[in-house]
Structure 1
Amino acid sequence: MSSATVKVTDESFEADVLKSDKPVLVDFWAEWCGPCKQIAPILDELAEAYGNKLTISKINIDDSPMTPSKFGVRGIPTMMLFKDGKMTSMKVGAMPKSKLVEWLNEAGVA
């Protein structure tokens, strides 16, 4: 995993995501998930590009099952945007970089 994306756990979620002073995109993923691996390099690129405006973090649902269950994650990859401690937008499934950028622009964080 690149240092561009931030690894989050059940224990660090509140501090790293909910109390962040900038918007956070959280990628709920797992080692065995093909589409999750497919979008990982795209998220790394976005983390580099938007680093000063947006934190991109990843939470492994197998290592940290409480957080995905709390937010009703049913399929992975699921990406959620958090702003000021609240989930503001969500996308499920892998998507091309152009679609992710479009989503971030629509959400007003890019």
Structure 2
Amino acid sequence: MKIKNVLLNFCAIACFLLTLFSFIYPASALSLRSPSSLTGLVELKHLAKQSVAYSTALKNPKPTLIEFYADWCTTCQAMAPTIKALHDSQSSQINFVMLNIDDPQWSEQIQHYNVRSVPQFTLVSPQGIPQKTLYGKVPKAVLANLLQQL
């Protein structure tokens, strides 16, 4: 009988805490704070399909932004809308290249550009010379400014 009472009290406290938590952090507020990983992953994969091939980017006279990414990287997924917006506005002046670090075909480029974390954004001049490398979550304004300077 005592065990039954303890379990009932435990359940009552748990329900109370869950109710309290739902008032402090409503589901709508939580969903606004972090976008769905699935949405970020879909956008990341879409960007990868839209990107310029690495070999093509090095042969044409435009500067290049190379993003080294991984599908599992939540920061890469979070950056996808920023990169998409920059791509949409500047793809006529800049090559946007995306290289998945989990794909063995890019191992030479990973070594060449000294990739140590993802996302890594490497800005390359039209002559193929790396100009600047940024890591992690980079504000859109910073990337836009660097692309304009490039």
TM bin, normalised by shorter chain, reads 0.7 to 0.9
C-alpha distance in 1 between matches for 2:60 and 2:90? 15
Superposition RMSD on alpha carbons, in Å? Answer: 1.9
Q: Runs of at least 4 residues of structure 1 off by over 6 A? A: none
What is the aligned counterpart of 1:37 among 73, 77, 82? 77
2:65/2:123 contact within 8 Å kept: yes
Q: Does 1:6 align with 2:48?
A: no
Using the size of structure 2 for normalisation, the TM-score is 0.61
Note closer, same or farther for the CA distance 1:62–1:72 as it changes in structure 2 (3 Å cut). same
Higher Cα Rg: structure 1 or 2?
Answer: 2
Structure 1 stretches lacking a partner, 5+ long: none
Identity of aligned residues (%): 26
Greater relative contact order (Cα 8 A, min sep 6): structure 1 or 2?
1
Note closer, same or farther for the CA distance 1:39–1:97 as it changes in structure 2 (3 Å cut). same
> How many positions carry a matched residue from both structures?
102
Q: Where is the helix percentage greater, Structure 1 or Structure 2?
A: 2
Using the size of structure 1 for normalisation, the TM-score is 0.81
Note closer, same or farther for the CA distance 1:5–1:100 as it changes in structure 2 (3 Å cut). farther
TM alignment of 1:78-93, pairs within 5 A: 78-83=120-125, 84-93=127-136
1:82/1:89 contact within 8 Å kept: yes
1:5/1:44 contact within 8 Å kept: no
Q: Where is the strand percentage greater, Structure 1 or Structure 2?
A: 1
Classify the secondary structure of the residue corresponding to 2:114.
coil
